[in-house]
A and B are shown apart, each in its own frame.
Chain A
Amino acid sequence: MSGLFGTLSTALSGLSVSQQEMETTSNNVANANTPGYTREVSEIAAGDPIELGSLSFGTGVVLEKIESLRDVMLQIQINQGTQQNSSLNASLTELQQIQTQFASSNSGIGADISNFFNSLQQLSPDPSNLTLRQSVLTAADTLATDFNTVAQSLQTQSGNIDQSVVQSVSQVNSLTSQIASVDQQISDLQSVNQSPGTLIDQQNNLIQQLSRLIDVQVIPTGQGITLATSNGTTLVSGSLSFALTTQASGGVQHIFAGSQNITSSLTGGSLAGLIQVRDQEIPSISSSLDQLAAGLATNLNAANAQGFDLNGNQGGNIFAPPPAGGVGAAATLTVSMTDPSLIAASSDGTSGSNGNLANLSAVADTALANGQTPINAYSNLVGQVGSATSNTSADASASNMILQQLQDQNGSVSGVSLNEEASNLIQFQNAYQAAARVVSAVNLLLLDAVNLGMDQAEQ
């Protein structure tokens, strides 16, 4: 038996543990809205008992540790979900911007093609009419200008994406260096056996921010964490971070890890989405437009050369010949013919013949390099742009929902519930009051014991 002092010490352990528990509760309440904060719980246990003969006496309570409640698997899933979601959302934003160029069926390149061929049709009953001839050139000009506008806006967008890529890479570098420095603090604390709970929260939060930009996997090691992209490029190893660099190549910014070009191997995060649009979608649309513009210009020039103009001379070019291979044809398409009398409507050299207009009109039904007529090629392009946007939009919605669910699950594990904390507070407060009552009882008993001695002495 340990006597009154033993009882006092047991009660004191209750006081101190209750106080520490209340501190944990207080910290949880204070951080209820802190992003990435994981609720903490105090783990307490009964103190080692003292054996006296056949009797065993408890020695109070001890606080074993304060633990952050987190589900590591769930956090890995959230990081992956975030990477996929950010990639899709970044693509979607860009694609939605692209598709505005293809939004209307009553204007734009498609309508321009129809209008151009219709202007040839209108010339056919009266082939020497200069007003009608001028309409053909005007329609050709509108067509060329719209090709230029769309091609240039695609180029501008690609340039804007390039800037976003550079900014994102610098954000990645800033985040990886923060993660590495937090990792250093964590291992410092661990080396003196202290709990790094909130630092780990902070690190996880940074990793989640990083996941919005780039695909990273967390590889736990003996010494801190290692972060690597899915193709194996190390970004953080313990307290060291490795910066990525950007370098212009082929007109766009490429991302390098050391000397290795990792641009095309990124699979998640907004960078992957941006690069996918910049390096796949935009070039594919641009190339379809180039093919269409070059095909139309070449075929119409060839058809015009088969006939004779109003002066009886062999037809010349309507459009400036497109660049060889067609690359850049849409951006540079120009009508080189300025004199409407040079349209070679005639097939026999007389001004009244419309025989060659049939050859010019036939270009509308002539398959281009991809096997489609001009209007079909454009219509397919509209469908292609629409599908890419609509598919990405559907994928992004699905991924939003998945991420939302994962975050809900994570919240149910790690989120701070104020009701829970309040009920804990009641519990801890009562425990503290009870322990205080014990202390006060022991105090009275001790007083009695002391007074008893005094009384005897007086007697």
Chain B
Amino acid sequence: MRVNPNPMPDLLAALNQTELEEQQAELQISTGKSVNEPSDNPGAAALLVENHDQATFTSGYLQSISAVQGQLSTASSTLSSITTAMQQVISLGVEGANGTLSASDQAAIVVQLQGIQSQLVSLANTTYQGNYVFAGTKTNTAPFVVDGASPSGVDYVGNTDVNEVSIGSGYKLAVNVPGSQLFSAPGNDVFLAVNNLIQALQTNTGIGTAVNAVSAASSYLSAQTVFYGNATDQTQSETTYLNAAQLQIAQQQNTLGGVDMATAASDLTQAQTDSQAALAAIGKLSQNNLFDYLT
């Protein structure tokens, strides 16, 4: 059979192909990615978009969690201070109920209680990064306002709304308890109980009952504190979960679009060898023909 006397186009095509493979391998090694453009692996390229979305959200949730944790811990430590203050109120009340106190001592207790009362108002008006923690969602105004005309001595001007923050995909966490629920719950109104105790001491009647009421309100408040403990626990376990997820997402990303350096390096060597072979073939392409031997 007659062969094609001009093999040059074939050899050039082969050279072109090996150079392309060389470039491909070099690109993979230099970028560390096997998917440098969507056509390298369309399925993986599409999944990498979703993988990056998951990675963004996972680190986003972690960031939200630290913001929420600051808020939760402020609220929680404020509540412990309030609980401590309430214990003090109770002991002062018990002391006042002791019929042996002089009128001036009684008056001194009242002054002390009034001090605690205003301390309680100030604690209930605690802020975190400029926002009132116990105001429901009306976080831009102090929720408890002193009002002498009110039986409890204060008015609640916050609202009863609760904010929820997503700390995971489809995982919403309530991050606040409205001050009205904590401090002004009907039957367990902290401010009313303290105010009543002060009045009882001033009039010297029903002090025991008033102390019991303070004690009940204090227990109720302690029970409410559990909310913040629970919420903090939830953010902590979610953090553990998200950290693990983050690792998995990074691994997935590597599986989808990462480069196995050993393979890429061996591909590059192979392509270079092929390329040299093609070059050698072109170089040695029969430079002689029969005409050279004609005399």
Contacts and interface: CB of A to CB of B under 8 A. Distances in A.
Contact of B49 (A128, A375, A389, A415): A375
A417 B56 CA distance: 65
A152 interface: no
Interface in B181-234: none
B49 A379 contact: yes
A355 interface: yes
B165 A125 contact: yes
B280 interface: no
Given A121-B57, A412-B4, A110 B161 contact: no
B138 to A, nearest CB: 4
B60 A121 contact: yes
B289 interface: yes
Contacts of A335: none
B76 interface: no
B10 A417 contact: no
B131 interface: yes
B147 to A, nearest CB: 21
Interface stretch (B31-39, B79-87, B239-247, B258-266): B31-39
Interface in A365-394: 375-376, 378-380, 382-387, 389-390, 393
B46 A379 contact: yes
B17 to A, nearest CB: 9
A383 B45 CA distance: 6
B45 A382 contact: yes
Nearest to B294: A422
A194 interface: no
A347 B162 CA distance: 11
Contacts of A425: 294
B51 interface: yes
B270 interface: no
B166 interface: yes
A255 interface: no
Interface stretch (A101-109, A198-206, A287-295): A101-109
A196 to B, nearest CB: 24
Interface in A3-20: none
Nearest to B161: A348
Contact of A111 (B3, B47, B52, B136): B52
B50 A352 contact: no
A127 B138 CA distance: 11
Given A121-B166, A418-B289, A105 B52 contact: yes
A19 B36 CA distance: 63
Interface residue tally of chain A, by bracket? Answer: 35 or more
Interface residues of B, number: 57
Interface stretch (A112-120, A275-283, A450-458): A112-120
Nearest to A118: B60
B250 interface: no
B38 A389 contact: yes
Nearest to B131: A352
B2 interface: yes
Interface in B1-23: 1-6, 9-10, 13
Contact of B36 (A103, A355, A375, A411): A103
Specify which of B48, B132, B163 lies most central, judged by the most chain A CB atoms within 10 Å of its CB. B163
B135 A354 contact: no
Contacts of A91: none
Given A111-B52, A400-B13, A408-B4, A423 B39 contact: no
B165 A114 contact: no
B278 interface: no
A126 B56 contact: no
B144 interface: no
A54 interface: no
A413 interface: yes
A374 B96 CA distance: 67
Contact of B38 (A103, A117, A353): A103
A386 B163 contact: no
Nearest to B66: A125
A393 B46 contact: no
B124 to A, nearest CB: 16
B84 to A, nearest CB: 27
Given A118-B60, A386-B46, A400-B13, A375 B166 contact: no
Contacts of A421: 291
Contacts of A426: 294
Contact of A125 (B64, B136, B289, B294): B64
Contacts of B57: 114, 117-118, 121
B140 A96 contact: no
A125 B6 contact: no
Nearest to A387: B42
A444 B42 CA distance: 86
Nearest to A129: B129
Given A118-B57, A128-B131, A423 B52 contact: no
A222 B47 CA distance: 60
Contacts of A390: 38-42
Given A96-B39, A103-B37, A426-B294, A354 B53 contact: no
Interface in A351-365: 351-355, 358, 361
B137 interface: yes
B28 interface: no
B38 A411 contact: no
B105 interface: no
Given A122-B64, A400-B13, A127 B46 contact: no
A118 B38 contact: no
Given A114-B56, A351-B140, A418 B290 contact: yes
B179 interface: no
A350 B293 CA distance: 101
B3 A412 contact: yes
Nearest to B139: A352
Nearest to B138: A350
A422 B42 contact: no
A222 B67 CA distance: 88
17 contacts: A99-B39, A114-B52, A118-B56, A118-B60, A121-B61, A122-B63, A126-B131, A348-B159, A351-B140, A353-B161, A382-B46, A383-B43, A385-B42, A390-B40, A404-B10, A418-B5, A418-B289
Interface of B: 1-6, 9-10, 13, 36-43, 45-53, 56-57, 60-61, 63-64, 67-68, 71, 129, 131-132, 135-140, 159, 161, 163-166, 172, 175, 257, 289-291, 294
Given A128-B131, A383-B42, A419-B290, 15 more contacts: A105-B45, A105-B51, A105-B52, A353-B137, A354-B164, A358-B166, A376-B50, A378-B49, A384-B42, A390-B40, A407-B9, A410-B4, A420-B5, A422-B289, A426-B294
Pick the 8 closest A-B CB pairs, nearest first.
Answer: A386-B38, A352-B139, A386-B42, A383-B46, A411-B4, A422-B290, A389-B39, A353-B137
